[in-house]
Amino acid sequence: MADPTSEVTGWLRTFEAACRARDFAGGRRMFADDALAFGTWAMAVHGLANIEREQWRNVWPRIRGFRFEERPAGRAAGDTAWVAAAWSSEATGPDGQPFTRQGRATFVLERREGRWLCVHSHVSLPPTQSESAHGRL
């Protein structure tokens, strides 16, 4: 039997490859139909069809070279798991110049019928740490 934490890291690598290849069908196979997502494009999206339409299809075609960090954090216990990692990709700015996007992601997984499926994802860009956003500390 495989180590559940290794399985969860494997899930992340498979999702990374689906995103990089713009493989929407592959991504759908990895999420539960009743999943909830917070994203970089869509604020909060309920249901897999909506996640694909409102988040993935607005982001994946616009980025290149999507990667999660080499050593993500993750844990599994029974049929529940989580994995979190920093990520980066390249995009093209309004001026036509490429730039690097960086962020972080957390996925909550549930084993259903022997397969790990994402039931919640939170993908975000880095927080703004300016005084104008948060005030002086």
- What pLDDT shows up at residue 2? 66
Domain ranges, ordered by start, for the chain? 4-127
Please count the CA atoms within 13 angstroms of the CA of 133 that sit on its side-chain side.
Answer: 5
- Please state which architecture CATH assigns to domain 4-127: Roll (3.10)
- The whole-number pLDDT of residue 18 equals 98
Predicted pLDDT at 65: 96
CB 68 within 8 A of CB 105: yes
Question: Do the Cβ atoms of 84 and 105 come closer than 8 Å?
Answer: yes
With contact defined as beta carbons under 8 Å apart, do 113 and 32 qualify? no
Residue ranges in the chain modelled with pLDDT below 70: 1-2, 128-137
